Amino acid sequence: MPKAASNLKAGLSKSSPDPLLPADREESALTVRLKQYLKPQDIAQVWGAYRYAFAAHDGIVRKTGEPYITHPVSVACILADLHLDVPTILAALLHDVVEDTDITTLDIKEKFGSQVADLVDGVTKLDKIEFQSASQAQAENFRKMLLAMSQDVRVILVKLADRLHNMQTLEAMRPEKQKLIAKETLDIYAPIANRLGLNEIYQSLEDLSFKYLYPMRYNAISKAIMVARGNRKEVISKILESIKQQLKAFNIEADISGREKNLYSIYKKMTSKATPFSQVYDIYGFRVVVKDMANCYLALGALHGLYKPIPSKFKDYIAIPKANGYQSLHTTLFGPFGTPIEVQIRSADMHNIADAGVAAHWLYKASDAQLTALQQQTHQWLQRLLDIQSESADSLDFLEHLKIDLFPDEVYVFTPKGKIMALPRRATAVDFAYAVHSDIGNCCVAVRINQELAPLRTELRNGDHVEIITGSMAKPNPAWLNYVITGRARAHIRHFLKSQQSTESAHLGERMLNQALRALHIEPKQITEAHWQKLIRDYGIKTKAEILSDIGLGKRQNVMVAHQLVAMTDNHLEKHTKLPTASLDTITIRGTEGMAVQFAPCCRPIPGDPILGFINKDKGLVIHTHDCPSVRKFKLDPDKWLDVEWEPESTHLFKTNLNLTVANQPGMLAKIAAGIADADSNIDNVSVEESDGSAYANLYFTVQVKNRVHLADLMRGLRKIPDVVRINRTKGNLHRRGTEK
């Protein structure tokens, strides 16, 4: 198992390897690393790729002034420290050849094989494709890289090593460019390294990003750590010796070492908890590495016998590993002089994985090889990325979902069968439902948390037992987007809503187009498939459904599309025969049209109200009452108005607002709520005007009714309640002075 990660920082802090040394020089920095784990014939293959890259980059100089070949060699050294296989080292040496020279991926494939060519292609940026904006280009690069990574995780290992060396040589860039690259590294690359368990690379990327984003803060904390290290040297030595003696007394063989927190993690702790540096006591901790898992718990007991533990500061990541495979026992003890001591206890195998993560034991040999637990977790995460990208409309959406999915803090919850699932902190029951399966998420209606019913927006906590209740007719609610956390949930919800809106808008658009065709004396069945195909070609789109959806959403006028279709018919072009006049259809409103038809919140129409339909771009058909104040400003644009009417036997419920003036007495709200329920109505929202000490109060309800008759029956019943002084229907949103209940 590689010492990789433990040597990584030390190896990289030295000067860059000299690329101009002859390939057979024994003291070459890359050769020294490769000799630790590769055969001579493998090293010869690596140097063949080195000479190829050297020739390709010959004469090119980096901004640091060094020959360009120093960069790919340094990237190869980082990966060699992780003991990665030969194809990965070759890809590291060749990763910029396709992007920066005339050499193609096909050339790489012919010379070094398809495996190396695929790795290089996965890392190569899309600079030769023009994008609308720099952010779109960045997002598309990430999308391509992560899709390649889902096929072979070595792609991201090369990319992370590439980014690490670029960050180490970032001083040659302009300050504004430094901050831009550092921000991107902190937002995307460092979390990915953490997600894959590459701890050393993760911490190095964080610290280097911190250095360029906040140079003054970086320098201040660096100096403070140097001072603290000197002040605490004697105490740390005493603690280290006492730990050694205690473990020896319990016959536990262990490798004990001190460790400092990286600068950025100290800075995050100071900012998140508003703590000055002088009160951050755990900048220095201890790591205890034992031979196996059983000894981890024995060592824990021994140390708890030496110093008293702080109960709230114990975490068992062995029983419940982190999502990146990290396993360890974390405990904080009251040390001498009341100093808190943070101790990590792990086995040797756990230590290797904690340092090198997925790179420590990724299999590249047989495709049917048994995956380890870490590989299975990584595979599941990569599969989630594939799901997210398939549901994302564009690369910017994908990048947004990816950032959400890279939250490092997690909660662990149990499924009904006792399986442990890791979710980001602040994840809700809806996030859990989509993590189980997209079909469960799309159909969830309620949740039981610890055997008790709870709202779907409930945030989950460590140890919660979660059971999702589904309904066969249920579908995602747009309001879920206000509180879901995971990228997977957001992507599935958005995809469903967009698909639903497109389908519903297409149905509405077809009804509107048929109305316009009949007004031009053409029956819809006279429009043939050939007519539609010609119109599709003229518009430069792919399907008829797109045209109908655009009409329903108000992006195209039904009359204009109808005229274009009529112009193609034989009746119009050849015979000019006037068909019998047909009456103009009226669009029937059922109340079940979904997102394609919206009821204006400014007047909240219900069946029985005289109504008008207004085509609003991107919102579709919006229904107003004929006396709505908003109608006046829209009447200047008659082309956007449609004749609409209510379906006679609609059973759908519609929202409307009621304003009640009542005696300010205890129990009035309950009496009115009971009266609304007795009338077979439902309360959607309620607010109460803040009390001013008077004998009367105003209550504002949004209720659901079938039609005006149902509303009249409801109001008649409420008037019979004693101490209801006045009741009337109001237009618009709930009274904003009220306090919602």
- Domain annotation covers residue 377: no
CATH code of residue 262: 3.30.460.10
Q: Would you list the DSSP string of 643-659?
A: -EEE-TT----EEEEEE
Are residue 517 and residue 550 in the same domain, yes or no?
A: yes
Quote the pLDDT of residue 294. 93
Which tokens sit at 340? 């808190």
With contact defined as beta carbons under 8 Å apart, do 79 and 158 qualify? yes
Which of 387-396, 403-412, 624-633 has maximum average pLDDT?
A: 624-633
Are residue 88 and residue 228 in the same domain, yes or no?
A: no
The burial of 269, by beta-carbon neighbours within 10 Å (0-12 exposed, 13-18 middle, 19 or more buried), is given as middle
- High-pLDDT (> 70) share of the chain, %: 77
Are residue 295 and residue 335 in the same domain, yes or no?
A: yes
The predicted model gives 239-250 an average pLDDT of 90
> CA–CA separation, 598 vs 212, rounded Å?
50
Which of 25-34, 135-144, 151-160, 179-188 has maximum average pLDDT?
A: 179-188
* Lowest mean per-residue pLDDT among 24-33, 38-47, 243-252, 362-371: 362-371
- High-pLDDT (> 90) share of the chain, %: 23
CATH code of residue 664: 3.30.70.260
Radius of gyration of the chain (CA): 34
pLDDT bracket for residue 373 (50, 70, 90): low
- Please state, rounded to an integer, the average pLDDT across all residues of the chain: 79
> CA–CA separation, 146 vs 149, rounded Å?
5
> CA–CA separation, 457 vs 363, rounded Å?
40
Quote the pLDDT of residue 246. 92
Are residue 229 and residue 205 in the same domain, yes or no?
A: no
Which of 296-300, 376-380, 558-562 has maximum average pLDDT?
A: 296-300
pLDDT above 80 for 349: yes
Quote the pLDDT of residue 727. 93
Residues in contact with 506: Cβ distance below 8 Å, sequence separation at least 6, in sequence order? 545, 548, 549, 552
Which of these three, 176, 193, 213, is where a domain ends?
Answer: 213
The predicted model gives 467-486 an average pLDDT of 86
Are residue 639 and residue 726 in the same domain, yes or no?
A: no
Which of these three, 213, 229, 254, is where a domain ends?
Answer: 213
Which of these three, 183, 213, 243, is where a domain ends?
Answer: 213
Which tokens sit at 29? 């920095």
Quote the pLDDT of residue 365. 36
What count of other Cβ atoms lies within 10 Å of the Cβ of residue 393? 11
Catalytic residue, candidates 66, 100, 187, 349: 100
> CA–CA separation, 211 vs 177, rounded Å?
14
pLDDT above 50 for 609: yes
Quote the pLDDT of residue 387. 64
What are 631-690's pLDDT values in tens digits? 776 666 666 677 788 887 777 888 899 999 988 888 888 889 899 989 989 888 888 876
- 100 included as an active-site residue: yes
What distances in angstroms separate CA 670 from CA 68, 667, 684, 728, one per listed residue?
A: 77, 5, 15, 19
70: helix, coil or strand? helix
List, as own/partner pairs, every contact residues 225-230 make where C-beta atoms lie below 8 angstroms and the sequence separation is at least 24, other chains included.
225/260, 225/263, 225/266, 225/283, 228/277, 228/283, 228/284, 229/260, 229/284
* Lowest mean per-residue pLDDT among 15-19, 115-119, 335-339, 389-393: 15-19
**What's the full length of the chain, in residues?**
741
Are residue 572 and residue 674 in the same domain, yes or no?
A: no
Higher-confidence position of 581 and 706: 706
Quote the pLDDT of residue 15. 40
Are residue 36 and residue 175 in the same domain, yes or no?
A: yes
**Residue 678 zone, left/alpha/beta (φ > 0; ψ -120 to 50; rest):** alpha
CATH code of residue 18: 1.10.3210.10
Are residue 690 and residue 593 in the same domain, yes or no?
A: no
CA nearest to 435, candidates 444, 481, 321, 325: 444
The predicted model gives 694-716 an average pLDDT of 89
- Domain annotation covers residue 590: yes
**Residue 449, φ and ψ in degrees, nearest 5:** -115, 115
Which H or E element spans position 77? helix 70-81
With contact defined as beta carbons under 8 Å apart, do 579 and 571 qualify? yes
Catalytic residue, candidates 99, 107, 184, 585: 99
Quote the pLDDT of residue 741. 40
Q: Which amino acid is at 530?
A: A
Could you tell me whether strands 611-616 and 641-642 are parallel, antiparallel, or unpaired per DSSP bridges? antiparallel
Quote the pLDDT of residue 164. 95
* Lowest mean per-residue pLDDT among 222-226, 420-424, 565-569, 657-661: 565-569
> CA–CA separation, 77 vs 89, rounded Å?
8
Quote the pLDDT of residue 145. 66
Name residue, tokens 């995956």.
371
What are 508-546's pLDDT values in tens digits? 788 888 877 877 778 888 888 888 888 888 777 888 888
- Domain annotation covers residue 385: no
Which of 47-61, 142-156, 231-245 has maximum average pLDDT?
A: 47-61
- Domain annotation covers residue 305: yes
Quote the pLDDT of residue 282. 64
Q: How many domains does the chain have?
A: 4
- Domain annotation covers residue 471: no
Are residue 40 and residue 187 in the same domain, yes or no?
A: yes
- Domain annotation covers residue 373: no
Quote the pLDDT of residue 396. 62
Domain of residue 334, residue span: 221-359
**Residue 54 zone, left/alpha/beta (φ > 0; ψ -120 to 50; rest):** alpha
Quote the pLDDT of residue 593. 61
Are residue 279 and residue 185 in the same domain, yes or no?
A: no
> CA–CA separation, 513 vs 642, rounded Å?
11
Quote the pLDDT of residue 94. 94
For residue 321, the 8-state DSSP code is -
- Domain annotation covers residue 508: yes
Which H or E element spans position 226? helix 215-231
Are residue 46 and residue 183 in the same domain, yes or no?
A: yes
- Domain annotation covers residue 466: no
Are residue 668 and residue 633 in the same domain, yes or no?
A: no
